[in-house]
Amino acid sequence: MYVIPIILVVLVIFLIRCICIVPQANAWVVEFLGRYKATWEAGLHFKIPFFDRVVKKVSLKEQVADFEPQPVITKDNVTMMVDSVVFFEVFDAKMFSYGVERPIAAIENLSATTLRNIIGSMTLDETLTSRDTINGQITQILDAATDKWGIKVNRVEVKNIQPPRSIQEAMEKQMKAEREKREQILTAEGKKQSAITLAEGEKEAAILRADAVKEQRIREAEGEAQALLAVQRAQAEAIKIINEANPGDAYLKLKQFEAAVGMADGQSTKIVVPSDIANLAGTVTALSETVRK
C-alpha cells in the first residue's frame, strides 16, 4: 500500500540529484564510465545516473598564487630571497584537469626556476632596478609554458627582493653618504647663490650712487653755467645800454677811476696806476661840483 508512494518519492529524489546547475564563471569536467565526456559551462545540465561523474569543478575567474620566498643567486654571487605573485586564469577546464597533476604546484616550481634563471644573469644592482624587466620575462615564459595546461598567465609581480643583511647595511651606508653629499652640495650652492646675489646688490647700489653723484654734478654744473650765462647776459645788456646811451669821456674816465678804487681796496700788493690818473681826478672833481650845483 505504501510501496508505490515511497518508490515515487525515491524516484523524484533520484531525478533531482541528476539535475546539475553550474554557477557562473565555473566549468565542470564530466566523465562517462571513466572517460572524458564533456565540459559543462554555466547553466542547467543533466547527468546519467551511475554512468556520468563530475570529476573536477574548475573556477574560470582570475586567481592569485602567492608563493613563498625563493633563494636566488645573482651574477655577482649575491644570494637573496625573492618572492613573487602570479595572476592567472583557466581558459580550458579539460586541459587544466588532464594536462598536469597539481597545477598550482607546477606553476610555483616553474616560476621559481624561471626566476633563478633570469636573476642569475643579472647583477645585484640590475636586479634591484629592473623589476619591470624581470616581471615581463617571467610572464612571457610562464604563459608560453602553461598553455598546454589550459592556464593563461596574465602577469607576474616580484613582490619583494631581500638582499643579505650585510648588503643592506652597505646599501644604507651608501645611501646615507649620497644624502650627505647632496646636502653639502645644496648648502654650497645656496651660499654661492647668496654671495652672488649680495655682490649683485652691492654692484647695483654702487651704480645707483655713482649715477646720483653724476646727476648731482651735472645739475650743479648746469646751474653754475646758467648763472654765469645770466651774469654775462646782464653785463652784455648793460654794455649795450651804455653803448646806446653814447657815454662821454667824463663817464668813461669815472668808470676807470672806480675800477682803480676797487683795485686799491683789494689785497693785491701791486697796483697799476693809469698815466692819466691826474686828469681823471680832475674830471671827477669837476663832475662832483657840477652835481652840487
Q: Are strands 26-32 and 35-40 parallel, antiparallel or unpaired?
A: antiparallel
pLDDT in tens, 173-216: 777 788 888 888 888 888 888 888 888 888 888 888 888 888 88
102-111, 204-213, 216-225, 282-291: least confident range? 282-291
Q: Are residues 132 and 111 in the same domain?
A: yes
Same domain, 111 and 193: no
Say whether both 238 and 256 belong to one domain: no
**Beta bridge partners of residue 190, listed in sequence order:** none
Note whether 233 and 275 are same-domain residues.
Answer: no
The reported pLDDT for the residue numbered 90 is 92
Structural domain range at position 220: 188-246
Q: pTM of this prediction?
A: 0.55
The total number of structural domains in the chain stands at 4
Q: Give CA–CA dist 213/217, Å, rounded.
A: 6
pLDDT of residue 100: 84
Of residues 236 and 248, more confidence is placed in 236
| Closest listed residue to residue 156, CA positions, set 64, 69, 59, 68 | 64
259 shares a domain with 238: no
* pLDDT at residue 253, as a whole number: 60
pLDDT > 70: percent of the chain = 81
The answer to whether residue 169 sits within a structural domain is no
Asked if residue 152 belongs to a domain, the reply is yes
Whether residues 68 and 146 fall in one domain? yes
Q: Judge whether 180 lies within some domain.
A: no
Report the pLDDT value the prediction gives residue 254, as an integer from 0 to 100: 59
Query: Cα torsion for 145, 147, 148, 151, to the nearest 10°?
Result: 110
* Residues 112 and 159 placed together within one structural domain of the fold: yes
Q: Are residues 174 and 181 in contact, defined by beta-carbon separation less than 8 angstroms? A: no
- The answer to whether residue 268 sits within a structural domain is yes
